[in-house]
Amino acid sequence: MSVLAGQTILVTGARGGIGAACALKLAEQGAQIILSDIREPTATFDALAPHAQEHLSTVADVSDTTSVSALFDEIDRSAPMLTGLVHCAGIIHEKPLLDTGIEEFDRVININLRGSFLVGQEAIRRLEGREGRILLTSSDLGVSGRETFSPYVASKHGVMGLMRSWAKEFGPRIKVNALCPGPIDTDMLGVAQMSPEWRAREMAIPAERFGKPSEVAAMAAFLMGPDADFITGQGIGVNGGSVMP
């Protein structure tokens, strides 16, 4: 398939999990991929080798203005004109509110929300006046909420606010949406370390299982493709029914 041929897409959080799956799926569909993560996404870059496009691997801290500026300077120098962003970089945080320090709150907000703002802003600078796609990553908890996750939930609600505002500000040429994954089997979720009780809670959804990163990536590829041209300003749940807005 080459429905994304001619597209150059930045994928953040590309070292593993949902980000790596998105990068691979987009490359399979013909896009040139710019990989970025806080550590070198070597394994993901190697996995793209069967796809003939000239991919680029970069390192950046999405919460740091200098690092994000350097990332986009490198993209400007080394890659064709950017056509899209799939922003997957983020962290999860679970802790009772009364045990959560302000430093922990700031770290979650800085990576998840500030990072979305910084990377999205720079991507839109390069897309403004042209057709393009921005895909942020929120969460099913960015639609609902959950006890002991308040900084994470706040950050993901904030991502939804950015997405909706940008969709209105930059439409119709730039389509802006957000993925809202539910319980996905990734290292970040830590399925292997879950207690039986917590695992049962996560699986108490209509699908009765954890999702796979490849299932989120399939939705990302659709939203970045031509068949999604009438979709903008939406938080798309890939969640097995964990949240039904």
Quote the tokens at residue 207: 């699908």
What global pTM score does this model have? 0.94
Provide the pLDDT for residue 186. Answer: 85
Contact (Cβ atoms closer than 8 angstroms) between residue 124 and residue 166 = yes
Q: What is the DSSP letter of 110?
A: I
* φ/ψ (deg, to 5) at 229: -70, -20
The residue from 45, 72, 105, 152 that is catalytic is 152
Backbone phi, then psi, for 71, in 5-degree steps? -60, -50
pLDDT for position 201: 79
Query: Which domains does the chain show, CATH number per domain?
Result: 8-238 (3.40.50.720)
In the residue annotation, 152 being an active-site residue is answered as: yes
Give the whole-angstrom CA distance, residue 32 versus residue 53.
5
Q: Tens digit of pLDDT per residue, the chain (245 long)?
A: 689 999 999 999 999 999 999 999 999 999 999 999 999 999 999 999 898 678 999 999 999 999 999 999 999 999 889 999 999 999 999 899 999 999 999 999 999 999 999 999 999 999 999 999 999 999 999 889 889 999 999 999 999 999 999 999 999 999 999 999 999 988 876 666 667 776 787 788 999 999 999 999 999 999 999 999 999 999 999 999 998 87
Give me the pLDDT at residue 199, please: 76
